[in-house]
Structure 1
Amino acid sequence: MEKSIYTQQYGLFLATLRAARESAGILQSELAARLNVDQPFVSKCESGQRRLDFIEVREWCAALGITLNELTVSFEETIARVQKK
């Protein structure tokens, strides 16, 4: 099995995460403050240089004002769109 960080789906997950932040109108620096981390941490996560675990994704969602379920639905919709192409 290929490591998930190298898959197309992980790239789509990162794009979904970034899109959620952007649609909430939140800068990386603002998200970092909400998560009590520095801005480079957020940047590394969004670019795939640092992997987020499940609990961190849940905290990320809370900081964005969305539920984990909402992020998951958005992620699944993104995958479905890409697979249709």
Structure 2
Amino acid sequence: MSKSAFSDAHQLLISALADARRDAGIHQADLAKIIGKDQSFISNIERGQRRVDVIEFYAIARALNVDPVQLFIEVVAGLPAKVEI
């Protein structure tokens, strides 16, 4: 797995997704069911073992009844000026 999967920027992204899930009062298994995946899919994301692409980010945010654009703005606001990929 690439080094960037464990970067501070990636951690910020997965923390935002996990926080949004918890704020929505949804368990990993329930979120996974909503998006048609196994619970391990969500667990792997939240543990930083799986990267999230923009479409997955959108689907997860929508499943949590969160505005994906607003959530992305919050993530971007916490990112450093230079992010390694």
Instruction: Please classify the TM superposition score into its range, dividing by the shorter chain length.
Output: 0.7 to 0.9
* Ranges in structure 1 where 5+ consecutive residues have no aligned partner: 81-85
Q: What is the match of residue 41 of structure 2?
A: 41
Segment of structure 1 superposing worse, 36-45 or 3-12: 3-12
| TM-score, normalised with respect to structure 2 | 0.81
**C-alpha separation in 1, matches of 2:77 and 2:18:** 15
* Ranges in structure 2 where 5+ consecutive residues have no aligned partner: 81-85
| SS, match of residue 26 in structure 2 | coil
The CA RMSD over aligned residues, in Å, is 1.8
User: Percent identity at matched positions?
Assistant: 34
**Relative contact order (C-alpha < 8 Å, sep 6+): which is higher?**
2
After superposition, give the CA deviation of every residue in 1:31-70 in whole Å (9 maximum; x if it has no partner): 0110111101110011111111111111111100112112
Size of the aligned set, in residue pairs, is: 79
**C-alpha separation in 2, matches of 1:79 and 1:23:** 21
| TM-score, normalised with respect to structure 1 | 0.81
**Conserved? CA contact 2:6–2:48, under 8 Å:** no
Higher helix share: 1
